[in-house]
């Protein structure tokens, strides 16, 4: 097994970091790794905002549910879908691309580009012995996040990644069975097979939660996932992204 594959398969989210900060060289290496990711039509429709200011980190932590690791980490990266630069480029060429960048497809492109870049950065960080944790909680209050980061129209913060030196490393979480995720040629809608696989996975997750060193519990994956999806969250999102110039058609 290659070192790269070993790094990927050994992933664990880290939620406790030391106070040691990343060097400028490390930050540049991580962002360079992010930039090497695939990008739709070479548009590179994303930006990364590095946050080191403790006050800004505190604001972002508040928006994300007061998560300590948004404040205490080696560096905090915010990934954004970004067509601001494209609009400026087009303006310089006296071209109007408003109809394109206000479409839902543009939102998908920016989101996918940013996500691919982020995962490259995450893998690069873990290969350097650093820990990472994705922070989707920023989307609890994108108006506040946008104000704190000073982002213009056509830039949409999507999520953050806390990166740093692990103070504590959690146990590795089991993932869904291979057969439950990988479908051959056509999507498999066999409910009997699906339910059997989910029952097997629930047993694995229960064992994981029972044995882990902190915050043990008895819930299954199907129970906790269903509970999370019962009540819609961030219902402001559609109106917000439309106001910010996204997904108008």
Q: How far apart are CA 62 and CA 68, in angstroms?
A: 9
Residues in the chain: 249
Q: How far apart are CA 164 and CA 60, in angstroms?
A: 17
Q: Are 109 and 45 in contact (CB under 8 A)?
A: yes
Three-state SS sequence of the chain = CCHHHHHHHCCCECCCECCCCCCHHHHHHHHHHHHCCCCHHHCCCEEEEEECCHHHHHHHHHHCCCCHHHHCCCEEEEEEEECHHHHHHHHHCCCCCHHHHCCHHHHHHHHHHHHHHHHHHHHHHHHCCCEEEEEHHHHHHHHHHHHHHCCCCCEEEEEEEEEECECCCCCCCCCCCHHHHCCCCCCCCCHHHHHHHHHHHHHHHHHHHHHCCCCCCCCCHHHHHHHHHHCCCCCCHHHHHHHCCCCCC
Assign domain 3-170 to a CATH class.
alpha beta
What is the torsional sign of CA 209, 211, 217, 222?
Answer: positive
Provide the token pair at 5. 């594959």
pLDDT reported for residue 215: 75
Q: Which of 126, 183, 134 is nearest to 158 (CA)?
A: 134
Angle between helices 54-63 and 142-149 (to 10 degrees): 170
> Could you list the pLDDT tens digit for every one of the 249 residues in the chain?
899 999 999 999 999 999 999 999 999 999 999 999 999 999 999 999 999 999 999 999 999 999 999 999 999 999 999 999 999 999 999 999 999 999 999 999 999 999 999 999 999 999 999 999 999 999 999 999 999 999 999 999 999 999 999 998 888 999 999 999 999 999 999 999 999 999 999 999 999 998 877 777 888 999 999 999 999 999 999 999 999 999 999
pLDDT reported for residue 132: 98
Sheet holding 75-82, edge to edge: 46-51, 75-82, 155-164, 131-135
């Amino acid at each position: 097994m290659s070192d790269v594959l070993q790094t990927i398969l050994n992933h664990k989210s880290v939620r406790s970091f030391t106070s040691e900060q990343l060097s400028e060289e490390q930050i540049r290496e991580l962002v360079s790794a992010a930039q090497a990711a695939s990008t739709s039509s070479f548009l590179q429709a994303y930006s990364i905002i590095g946050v080191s200011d403790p006050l800004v980190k505190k604001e972002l932590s508040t928006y994300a549910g007061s998560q300590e690791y948004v404040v205490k980490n080696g560096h905090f990266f915010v990934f954004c879908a970004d067509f601001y630069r494209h609009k400026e480029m087009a303006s310089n060429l006296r071209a109007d691309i408003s109809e394109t960048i206000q479409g839902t497809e543009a939102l998908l492109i920016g989101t996918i580009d940013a996500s691919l870049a982020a995962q490259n950065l995450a893998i690069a960080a873990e290969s350097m012995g650093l820990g990472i944790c994705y922070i989707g909680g920023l989307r609890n209050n994108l108006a506040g996040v946008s104000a704190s980061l000073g982002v213009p129209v056509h830039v949409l913060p999507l999520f953050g990644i806390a990166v740093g030196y692990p103070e504590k490393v959690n146990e590795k979480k089991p993932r869904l069975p291979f057969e439950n995720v990988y479908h051959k040629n056509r999507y498999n809608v066999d409910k009997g097979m699906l339910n059997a696989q989910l029952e097997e996975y629930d047993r694995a997750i229960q064992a994981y939660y029972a044995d882990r060193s902190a915050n043990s519990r008895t819930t299954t994956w199907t129970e906790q996932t269903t509970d999370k999806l019962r009540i819609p969250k961030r219902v402001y999102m559609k109106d917000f992204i439309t106001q910010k110039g996204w997904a108008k058609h």
